[in-house]
Structure 1
C-alpha cells in the first residue's frame, strides 16, 4: 500500500528482529520497539543489513525478477514465449506496444526505492551503534554498494530518477516536490558510493565460508567498472576492470557448464550473486526462474524463450560448448541431465520450443515439491567473464587494441574457440560485442547492451529492432525455424514497433507522476 510519493510501502519507523536471517525484517514491530531500541543491538544491525540483499532481486517473482525477464523478451535473444496464456501486459512490453501503467514497471520502481530507503537508514543509524569498527565499516560498505546497484538499475531502465540519500528526507513535506535528477547526477552518486564501498569492504577471500555472497571489494570495483563503461569513460573502465582481473580473487570456471551449476553458488567466477535455497519452512527463499523461464512441458510457465537467431549466433562460431549450456531445444537431450533424452519444449504452447539452460535444474537435483520459491540455484549479477569483456570493450575504445584482443582471447580460450589476433578496427569491436552476446546470453544483459552500444553515434538496437531491423527481417523474410514459423500466436514480426525516439527507456510509472503532482515528468513518447 502506498504511503508517500516515490517510496510507496516505506519501511516506516519500526522493524522486527528475528534470529532467523531469512525473515529479513519484513514485519512491523507495532510499537514494541523504536528505531533507537532496534539499532542499539549489534545483532539487529546485521539482520537489517541482510534485509538489503532481499531488494536486489525483489521479494517475489513479480517485483523485480520478472521485469528483468521481460527486458530479455524485448531483445533479439528472446521471444515472450508463452503462447498459451494471453497476457498483453507482458507481451505488449516485449513487442513494444507498451502500456505505461504496467504493474511490472510499477513494482520494479517500488521495490528499488524500498531498498534504497533501507540503505539510507543503514547509513544513518549504523555509525552510532557500539559494535566492532571493522564490522561497522563493512556494513556501511554493503549499504553503499547496494544503494549504488539499485540506482544503477533504475537509471538503466528509466533514465534520470529522483535521488534521495537520507532516511530522514522521506518524512520532510518537501518530498512531494522531488523532481527527477539527471542521469549524470545519479552516476556521480553511484561512483561516490562505490569508491567508499571499495575502501570499506573485505575481499572475497577474507570472508568466512558462511558469509560468501556478501558484497566484496571486487564486487564494488566490478560495478564501478560497469558504471564507467555505460558512461563511455573508457580509460577508467579499462583500469578498474583490470584491477579486478589482476586481484587474484577470481578465475574463469574451467568448465563453462559449472557457472550456473546447482551447488556451485559463489564459485570461483562469481563476483556478485544472489543464492537461492530450498527451505520448506521458509517461503520465498528459493529461485523463481526455473519455473517462470521453464518449459510448459516441464512444469514451467514458458516465458522468455530463446530465439533461433540467438542459436544461430552460437552456430556461426562453432560454439557448441556454450550453446548446449545456454539453450535447451524441444526433442533434444538436456546437457548435464541424463534423465532427459528428449526435452518437451511444448512448441504448441511456446513460440520457439526452446528454454534457458542456465536456470534449469536437473531432474536429480530438484526438491520435492518442485515449485516456485523453493528451488535451489543462483542468479549471478556480475561474474569474471563479464568483467573481462568490460575490459576488452573499454580497451578497444581507449585505443588499446592489443589489450582488447588479449581479453577477448581469455574468454574464448575457455570454450575452445580460436581468436584471430590480427583483428582490428570495427571488426574487433564487433567480435567483442558478439562475444558478450554468446558468453552472457540469457543472463539479462542483452537489452542494456544493445541500447548502450553505438555505431557512429546510433544505438545498435535501432539496427536490430524496428520495421527495418535485422532481427525483424530475419524472422519475417529468412527464418525457416520449424517452431517459430508455425506457432504464430506470437507474431513473427515481434520488435517491429520499436521506436528509438521512445523505447530507449521504459515509462515512469504513472502513479508516481500523479502522486508527485506532476513534479516527476514522464519519458518522451509515453
Structure 2
C-alpha cells in the first residue's frame, strides 16, 4: 500500500491549520508569524510544517510539461485541443511564470519556517536534525526549479516577517546554485538513505545533486553523486519498460523519487493530457477512456520520425488503440483523425483511471541516473569503458530481446558519445519533462527550435520574471528581452 506522505495526514492538517506562505510576494503579516512561533511546540508540529512544504509539489507537477517538453522539440499541442498554443509557439507573456513563482516561493517560505522554528523545539537531536535537513532539501528542490527557469532569483534563508525582507533583489545565478548545493549536501550527509514513499532521503538528495551539477556542466561532481546512487545497490531497472508507468508499479525499485498520487483522493492530472481526445463524430468521447480526457499533448513529427524502432518506441507512442469497451476492437488514429493526429503519447496510459489517475509522478528513476553517470564519465574520463556499460544497460532494456534494435554502443569518439547519450536521454525519458533542460544545458535549444520553424529569440532560453513580481518589488530586474 502506498504511503502518501505519511498516509496523507498533512492534507487533513492543512485543512484545519493552513500554514501561511506567499502566493505573490512572500508577504506575511506579523501576527501570523507570532502564531507560527507559538504553534511550533513539538516534533509533531514540525512535521505538520514539513508536510505543508511538501504540498506545493503538486502544483509543480501540473506545470512541468510546459517547461520541460512543450517548449522543446519532441512534444507539441494536440491538433484537436490546442489549449497550450502559446507555449508551443513561444507567444506567452511575462505573466506565464507567476504560477511557478508562487508555488515555489510559498513552499520556500514554509520550509524556512520549519528550519527556523524546529530548531527551538525540545526533542531528540537526531530527529530534529533530520527534519531540518529534509526542509533544506525541499527548499533546494524549489529553488532549482526557479533558477533553472529564470536564472538568478531572490534568495530567502529565513521566513518573511512583516515587510522587513520582502524586497530582496535578485541574487546571481551562481549564488542561487551555490545555495541549492549547500542545502542538498546537508541533506545528503544527514538523512537516512531510505524513507517513507514521498519523503526525501539521502539517495534522493544525491540524485538531485547529480542533476543540478549536470545542468551546471560540472561533470566531475555529477558523476560522483550519480555513482553514489548507483553504488548503493538499492535500485535496478525494471525488466519491462512499460511497467514503469503503471499505477500498480508505483514506488518500484527503479523509482528513486516519486510524488505520490491516489486515484479518487489526489489525482495525477497528466495522464489524461497525453491521451487522445476524440473529435465530434461517430466515436464521440468514449473510445479511448470512459470520459472525455483533455488530450492536450501530441508527439511532434520530428520525434515520430527520429525515434528508432524498438520496443521502447512502441510503448511510448502509438497509432492505434483498443476501444475502451473491450468489444469494438482496434481503432487507428487515421480512422478517427483522418491523418491530422497520426500518433498519440501512449507512455502514460492509465485509461481505467481516466481523470482520476493514481499513477505517481516520477521525479527521478534509475535509468536517468545511469545516463547522467555515462554522460559525465564521457566528459571526465572519455576512455573509461564503464560509460558503455551504463548506457547499454538502458538500451538493452529498451530493445526487449530484439537484437537488431538499439544494438550496444562501443568504439565511439567522445563527441559521438555526447550525441549518443543525449539522444538516449531523449527517447528513454521522453515526455518526462527533461528534454528542454537537456537542450538548454547543451546550448542546442535555439538551433533545435528554429529547425522546427519556431520563432524563438535568443533571450527565450530563460523564462521571464512575472510582471506582477517586478511591479510589487522595485528591486527585481526583468530578464533581458521580456
Normalising by the residue count of structure 2, what TM-score does the alignment of the two structures yield? 0.85
Q: CA deviation at 1:350?
A: 10
CA offsets, 1:403-440, max 9 Å, x none? 32222112112223321311122111111110000110
Q: CA deviation at 1:175?
A: 2.2
Q: Is the 8 A contact 1:347 1:353 kept in 2?
A: no
Q: CA deviation at 1:465?
A: 1.3
Q: Is the 8 A contact 1:328 1:356 kept in 2?
A: yes
Partner Cα separation in structure 2 for residue 347 and residue 79 of structure 1: 19
Which residue matches 1:296?
Answer: 277
Q: Is the 8 A contact 2:333 2:343 kept in 1?
A: no
Which residue matches 1:181?
Answer: 171
Q: Among 119, 128, 139, which residue is 1:136 paired with?
A: 128
Q: CA deviation at 1:128?
A: 2.1
Q: CA deviation at 1:277?
A: 0.2
CA offsets, 1:424-466, max 9 Å, x none? 221111111100001100000001111111xxxxx11122112
The answer to whether the aligner puts 1:161 opposite 2:153 as a matched pair is yes
SS in 1 for 2:155: coil
Q: CA deviation at 1:158?
A: 0.8
Partner Cα separation in structure 2 for residue 95 and residue 296 of structure 1: 21
Q: CA deviation at 1:233?
A: 1.1
What RMSD in Å do the two structures reach over aligned CA positions? 2.7
CA offsets, 1:119-157, max 9 Å, x none? 101111112223333332222221111111111111111
Q: CA deviation at 1:26?
A: 5.0
SS in 2 for 1:273: strand
SS in 1 for 2:249: coil
Q: Is the 8 A contact 1:405 1:423 kept in 2?
A: no
Partner Cα separation in structure 2 for residue 346 and residue 141 of structure 1: 54
Q: Among 415, 419, 440, which residue is 2:408 paired with?
A: 419
Which residue matches 2:23?
Answer: none
Partner Cα separation in structure 2 for residue 41 and residue 238 of structure 1: 39
Q: How does 1:119-130 map to 2 (within 5 A)?
A: 119-130=111-122
SS in 2 for 1:153: helix
Q: How does 1:392-471 map to 2 (within 5 A)?
A: 392-401=374-383, 402-416=385-399, 417-453=406-442, 459-466=443-450, 469=451
Q: How does 1:6-21 map to 2 (within 5 A)?
A: 20-21=9-10
Which residue matches 1:524?
Answer: 480
Partner Cα separation in structure 2 for residue 451 and residue 347 of structure 1: 36
Partner Cα separation in structure 1 for residue 248 and residue 103 of structure 2: 28
Which residue matches 1:13?
Answer: none
Highest relative contact order (Cα 8 Å, sep 6+), 1 or 2?
2
Q: Is the 8 A contact 1:72 1:446 kept in 2?
A: yes
Q: Which runs of 5+ in 2 are unaligned?
A: 1-6, 20-30, 279-287, 400-405
Normalising by the residue count of structure 1, what TM-score does the alignment of the two structures yield? 0.78
**Change beyond 3 A, Cα 1:66–1:388:** same
Which residue matches 1:11?
Answer: none
Which residue matches 1:72?
Answer: 69
**Change beyond 3 A, Cα 1:70–1:159:** closer
Partner Cα separation in structure 1 for residue 369 and residue 465 of structure 2: 30
Partner Cα separation in structure 1 for residue 302 and residue 112 of structure 2: 43
The answer to whether the aligner puts 1:201 opposite 2:159 as a matched pair is no
The answer to whether the aligner puts 1:226 opposite 2:226 as a matched pair is no
Q: How does 1:111-510 map to 2 (within 5 A)?
A: 111-167=103-159, 169-176=160-167, 178-204=168-194, 207=195, 211-279=196-264, 282=265, 285-297=266-278, 298=288, 299-315=292-308, 318-319=309-310, 321-329=311-319, 331-333=320-322, 341-342=330-331, 348=337, 352-363=341-352, 366=353, 370-371=354-355, 374-401=356-383, 402-416=385-399, 417-453=406-442, 459-466=443-450, 469=451, 472=452, 493=453, 496-499=454-457, 501-510=458-467
Q: Is the 8 A contact 2:333 2:339 kept in 1?
A: no
**Change beyond 3 A, Cα 1:224–1:79:** same
The answer to whether the aligner puts 1:49 opposite 2:50 as a matched pair is yes
Partner Cα separation in structure 2 for residue 185 and residue 295 of structure 1: 43
Q: Is the 8 A contact 2:256 2:366 kept in 1?
A: yes
Q: Which runs of 5+ in 1 are unaligned?
A: 1-17, 454-458, 473-492
Q: CA deviation at 1:64?
A: 5.2
Q: Is the 8 A contact 1:253 1:259 kept in 2?
A: yes
**Change beyond 3 A, Cα 1:106–1:82:** farther
CA offsets, 1:349-378, max 9 Å, x none? 996343332332143xx3xxx53xx32111
Q: CA deviation at 1:270?
A: 0.8
CA offsets, 1:159-204, max 9 Å, x none? 111111101x44343422x111111001110110011001121112
**Change beyond 3 A, Cα 1:179–1:128:** same
